[in-house]
Amino acid sequence: MDQLYQHLLNGLLLGATYSLLGIGLTLVFGLMHVVNFAHGEFYTLGAYALFAALAGASVDFFLAIPLAVVLGAAAGALCERVLLRPLRGESIDTVMLVMIGVWIAMQNAELLGWGGVAKSVPTPFSTRPVVLGSVSVSPLRLFVFGVSGFLILGAHLLLARTKLGRAMRATFQDRETAALMGVSIERVHTITFAFGAGLAAAAGALLGPVFLLYPSMGDLASLKAFSVVILGGLGNFVGAALGGLVLGVAEELGAGYISSGYRDAVGFLIIVAVLLLRPSGLFARAERVG
């Protein structure tokens, strides 16, 4: 029984970061209709940026994380401005293929820049786990959970309460009206994409120290992000937040009770199951057909 609680706890802690990943993608995929297969690469970028700041420039850990997020957001803004804006009217397939190109290019750039050997990120946290009754948790993971939760809350407030958030929601609900009301559609698109990339980079900077860094770490991150988005329903913020937690717990339970080798299969299986059985997502209201 204790094991169950431990798995659940681990799952929730991990899941919060998956929520971050998923929220970033649901905004881009759900609202902008960009099938961003490079989402995981912004995750990788965040992780390696953290590593570079710590190992290369000896930046303080707690400063390096926001730095990584900003870098991720900037990369996202650049990508949107240079590649996506010119293709605005094109079919969703063309954009998808372009993002696949970005995926390949970014990953191999990482490979060339950092080499294929996995790296570990030093953290200022003690490795001695904190014991809470029958479960234990490492301080690092608690920190990661805390920051993830903070960022998710921040993202929600930004979307729900700020002028920018209103502009974003307006643009994606009814672009023409939003434009007539004076919203700069172009800027909203760039900011939304940068926002998504920034959140992915945050997830990477947070999870990087927990696991190891290697150039293809983004592949699984992308898949898991899509898994969360599909679980929660396209463009559904709360759905993505909850979906991330579900994925985290499912993975931990799967790894604990079935086999750790198939851990990553959970994300895949979720995608397959949801797409085949309830394509609009677990948390979405039933959608109108036709």
Partner 1 sequence: MKRLGLLVLLGGAAAAAPAWVWNPYHLHTLIMAGIFAVLALSLNLLLGYTGQLSLGHAAFFGIGAYATGLLTVKLEWSPWLGLGASIAVPGATGWAIGRLALKLRGAYFVLLTISFAGVASLVSVNWMDLTNGPLGLPGVPAIEIALPGLPALSLRAKGAYYYLVLAAVTLCYLVCAALIRSRIGRALIALRENETLAESVGINGTHYLVLAATLSAAMAGLGGGLYAHYTRFVSPEVFLFSYTVTMVIMVVAGGKGTLAGPIVGAVIFTVLPEALRAIASWQWQMLLYGMLLIAVLFFLPRGIVPALQERVK
Partner 2 sequence: MTVALEVSGLSVRFGGVAALSDVSFAVRAGTVTSLIGPNGAGKTTAFNAITGFQRPTAGRVRHEGVAITGWRPHRIAERGLVRTFQKTSVFPGLTVMDNVLTGLHLSGGVGLGSALFRRGRVGDEERRLGELARRGLEFVGLAGRSGERASALAYGDQRLLELAVALAAGPRLLLLDEPASGMTTSEKETVAGLISRIRARGLTVFLVEHDMRLVMGMSDRVLVLNEGRLIADGSAEDVQRHPDVIQAYLGARARAEA
* 290 touching partner 2, by CB under 8 A: yes
Quote the least distance from Cβ 60 to partner 1, whole Å.
32
Among 61, 125, 268, 283, binds partner 1 (CB under 8 A): 268
Closest to partner 1 by CB, 209 or 254: 254
* 93 touching partner 2, by CB under 8 A: no
Q: Where are the beta strands (DSSP E) in the chain?
A: 130-132, 135-137
Mark residues 109-128: x for contact with partner 1 by CB under 8 A, - for none: x-xx----------------
132 forms bridges with which residues in the sheet?
Answer: 135
Type of residue found at 160: A
In the list partner 1, partner 2, none, the entry touching 288 (Cβ below 5 to 8 angstroms by class) is: partner 2
130 forms bridges with which residues in the sheet?
Answer: 137
Q: Which residues of 65-78 are buried (b: 16+ CB within 10 A; e: fewer)?
A: bebbbbbbbebbbe
* 157 touching partner 1, by CB under 8 A: no
Quote the least distance from Cβ 89 to partner 2, whole Å.
14
# binding residues, partner 1 (CB under 8 A): 40
**286: phi then psi, degrees, rounded to nearest 5:** -60, 135
Type of residue found at 11: G
Rounded (5°) CA angle 148-153-155 = 95
DSSP states of 65-84: HHHHHHHHHHHHHHHIIIII
**289: phi then psi, degrees, rounded to nearest 5:** -100, 140
Quote the least distance from Cβ 286 to partner 2, whole Å.
9
* 289 touching partner 2, by CB under 8 A: yes
Contact set for partner 1, span 13-52 (CB under 8 A): 29, 35
In the list partner 2, partner 1, none, the entry touching 2 (Cβ below 5 to 8 angstroms by class) is: none
The span from the CA of 168 to the CA of 166, in Å, is 5
* 63 touching partner 1, by CB under 8 A: no
SS3 1: coil
The span from the CA of 4 to the CA of 275, in Å, is 28
Give residues in contact with partner 2 (CB under 8 A): 288-290
Give residues in contact with partner 1 (CB under 8 A): 29, 35, 83, 86-87, 92-94, 96-98, 100-109, 111-112, 219, 223, 226, 230, 259, 261-262, 264-265, 267-269, 271-272, 275-276, 279
